[in-house]
Structures are given as structure tokens and as C-alpha cells.
Amino acid sequence: MNYRTDPNQKPLFLKVVKRNPNLILYEWEYEEDDSSYIDSFPLFYRPDQDKWVRVTQGIFGLKRKKLVPFFLDCPQLALGIQEKSIKTPYEILEFWEGSCLNPLR
């Protein structure tokens, strides 16, 4: 599979970190400008919503304002993110597996 569509652009790569029913954690890997340093950031994807959301904002932790609406169909998870009792992408995945596999519709 080719991930590069324009030879003048820097390459990027989406890596599947963990896949659960209706929730996939990816890492978007890219090369920093003017260096050979590879950096990445996590993204959640929900095929049932056809949406992507960036999970973290660097050293500041989760992007709570983006994640809460993304998980509104699982109110317990949205509340845990909002109240900061859920602090990492892996905690979100664990909660999703345990409590949100059959989200409210």
C-alpha cells in the first residue's frame, strides 16, 4: 500500500495501535520540518460515525472538548473524560471495551 500521494510532500503513516468494535486508535506519524525526526499523535476513528478525532494535545493531555462530544452515545465515558477520571487513550479504550460496546442510540 502506498501512503504517499505527492512526491513533493513529506511522507506520513497511519499506524493501527488498537482496534475494538466501533473504535480504532491510530497513530499519525510524520517527519518534523527540516529534520529527520519522526513524531506522532493519536487519533480515534469510529466507523459507525465516520469521524476522526485527535486524542491528545501534546503535554497537556487529552483534548477533552473534542472527545466528550465524540463519545456522547456512551454517557459514562464522556463524563469520565470530562471529569478527568479517564486520562489516557488506553483508559478510553479499556472503558469502551467494558461499558460502551453497545452504545445508546
Residue 38 lies in a domain: yes
Q: What confidence score (pLDDT) does residue 90 get?
A: 92
Residue 5 lies in a domain: no
Residue 105 lies in a domain: no
Residue 6 lies in a domain: no
Number of compact structural domains in the chain: 1
Identity of the amino acid at 55: V
Q: What confidence score (pLDDT) does residue 41 get?
A: 85
Residue 37 lies in a domain: yes
Q: What confidence score (pLDDT) does residue 4 get?
A: 42
Structural domain including 64 reads 12-99
Q: What confidence score (pLDDT) does residue 30 get?
A: 75
- CA-to-CA distance for 53 and 61, rounded, in angstroms? 14
Residue 44 lies in a domain: yes
Q: What count of other Cβ atoms lies within 10 Å of the Cβ of residue 92?
A: 25
Burial 37-60 (b: 16+ CB within 10 A, else e): eeeeebbbbbeeeeeebebeeeee
Could you tell me the pTM of the whole model?
A: 0.75
Q: What confidence score (pLDDT) does residue 2 get?
A: 34
Q: What are phi and psi of 16, to 5 degrees?
A: -75, 120
Could you report the average pLDDT of every consecutive run of 10 residues in the chain (105 residues)?
A: 48 80 85 72 86 82 92 94 94 90 52
Residue 48 lies in a domain: yes
